[in-house]
Amino acid sequence: MSRSRLEAFADGVFAIAATLLILNVDSQVGTEPHGLGGRLLHIWPSYVAYAVSFVTIGIIWVNHHALMQQPPSFPSRPAWWPSTFAPTGRGRRPWRTGSR
Q: Within 10 A of 10 (CB to CB), how many other CB atoms are there?
A: 15
Instruction: For residue range 18-35, list pLDDT tens digits in order.
Output: 888 877 776 666 666 667
This prediction has a pTM of 0.58
Q: What is the pLDDT of residues 59-69, one digit of tens each?
A: 998 998 888 88
- Calpha distance 82→35 (Å, rounded): 62
How many residues comprise the chain?
100
Confidence class of residue 56 from pLDDT cuts 50, 70 and 90? very high
- For 18-84, give the DSSP string: HHHHHHHHHHHH---SS-HHHHHHHTHHHHHHHHHHHHHHHHHHHHHHHHHHSPP---SS-TTGGGG
Q: What's the mean pLDDT in 12-19?
A: 89
